[in-house]
Structure 1
Amino acid sequence: MKKIISVVGARPNFMKVAPINRAIQNFLREHSDFPLIHKICHTGQHYDSNMSDVFFKDLELPEPDFYLGVGSGSHAVQTARIMIEFEKILISEKPDLVIVVGDVNSTIACSLTAVKLGIKVAHVEAGLRSFDRTMPEEINRILTDAISDYLFVSEESGVKNLKREGIPDEKIFFVGNVMIDSLISYLPKVERSEILGFFSLKPSQYGVVTLHRPSNVDSKERLKQIIDLLVDISEYKRIVFPIHPRTAQNLEKYDLLKFLNHNIIATKPLGYIDFIALIKNSAFVLTDSGGIQEETTYLGIPCITLRNSTERPVTVEIGTNVLSGEDITVAFKYIMEILNGNFKNGKIPELWDGKASERIVKILIEKLFE
């Protein structure tokens, strides 16, 4: 009997593990006596119910087999806690493979712990590079890729990056995007969402904003600039602003909530289904997230990313995404272009077809049982 443990820790991980879990379960239903067990470990890196529990419900994930409950802390503290607790799971369970996804602290912590115990690691969403090492996620990506055994890549840039870093070809697999697997799978549920009615919104008559990166929300001056931008935009369109816990804390700390007006709908983080419904029906999205750049590209929704670089360049090269950098006036210019109908049209990237998870599971089963 072979055993696989998949790791989730933060909000973006759930959308990536859900389709992998589904693909494994579908395979096991078709091969009822197949000697394979799949378990899920939730590190508890995101412990707010709006950032975690609701995603298990929305994405129909089973309750995790293991919950580490590490909570918040500095990067070092959080990573160390995950490693200590995850090592206990690995020693007890003795899995043949650990699947990690994305680029959060749980990704590098669990990879490193597994590799040091001689357990093989598969990294889903490998090879993405922003080339900005001030981003903690970039460090996590580089280190995880360097020690993983199987690297599953979502876009062509990832293949080039891994080869440039000396990763041998036999470890690299261009399979497509598991985030898009989730998106395609849950579109029927998205269509039934009542979130627009809840906020009294009409399709294409509003924009969506998400902010959470330290470079945008930790400085009072920068955060005030962005709030001023939202106020300016709200003169033209209503804005829905699901506020990340880190951003909410800083808005309160810097006394900036008072600047939001009645055209800006400030809300807590939303579940996956409702959030995708909001994006799908929006006029534009303003964000500093990674995954949202991909979701908007697939859905054909204009996306302005408040960053100088992106680890997902295909969303800019052929998708609906643009980088506005740190200059707020550039972001405002792009939004005016969108509202005036002068923004670019995008295309869906190669292999973003809803079947990446099936490809991953097929490869892993071949490797585990060869």
Structure 2
Amino acid sequence: MITSAPTRSVHDPDLAEHYLHLVGDGDEQGACELALSLLDEGVPAQQIMVDLIGGTQGRVGELWATNQWSVAREHAATAVNERVLAAVAGQLRTLPRRGRITLACVDGEWHGLPARILAELLRMDGWRVDFLGASVPGPHLITHLHQTGPDAVALSCMIPTRLPRAHAAITACRAAGIPVIAGGRGFGPGSRYAELLGADAWAATAEEAVTRLASAWPPPPAPEFPAHPADVLGDEEYTHLVRSRPQLIETAMRRLAETVPAVRDYDEQQLEATMEDFGHIADFLAASLYVGEPQIFLDFTAWTAGVLTSREVPVSALQAGLRLVRDQLIDFPNATATLTRALTAL
């Protein structure tokens, strides 16, 4: 039994750097051995999961965004982190004593590691957890709820473009009589969009979710309708943008080739990447319109500008794309105003 304080800390920059090197090198065995040795020394499992594994995953994303790591290396590192988390969790023995909770990422949300970390923290705190994984379609989630009858649903959303699907899932869960706690960056700073979408509770971090579920659950029923005007959820502008998304992208690609002759010489990979970029513009704009929050789109364009700069792509390319989209939405004042604000900020 451990009787003395741990000799190492997950907050040691050298240790964190060493662990990053291991996951970046795809050294699954070395990374697992390091994490398990920390556990043996008495470092709390929660710190290993949240600060070492979760913190490193954040750095992995930053290294990809700044073009220091490739997508393949980022995926490989994520897989190692998932394996290390499983190895640490496999050493723990906690009997369920609270209740049963279903944990899932909303439909279209593929960032599953943060939710997986939460699942292990909840198990440590005595919950029986059904972790359904990434991108769970709403109907499948509801079927599972009817089959298992959990005490709560925890929904993770890391990207704002998934907010409309998160809203559908929250609404369906509440219709089934099961309260929802929401979390993840996609719900905005302090999960402020979670209440708008009807969640019964929200948490900014995994640790906060554990605390709320342990001390203030079930929460008072959420209001039947959001505090904000209901017409910001799926209004006419949002509906038009979603329905016309394929045509909007096709037209933007054609006009881009007309205004930027170099696009005509793009290879298949470059054309596909450009189409994806227009798709991201449309999706983030749609999410912004759905909740009536322009900042969602402004944050996206600022982040995209940084990614493009790190890849030596001029920001003027993003500005050109935004104008091509705006030109097609001149009859929709909220959309054009949001696009204009983004162009001004850039």
TM-score range, shorter chain: 0.3 to 0.5
TM-score (norm 2): 0.37
TM-score (norm 1): 0.35
| Bigger fraction of residues in strand | 1
Max Rg structure: 2
User: Which structure ranks higher in relative contact order (CA pairs < 8 Å, sequence separation ≥ 6)?
Assistant: 1
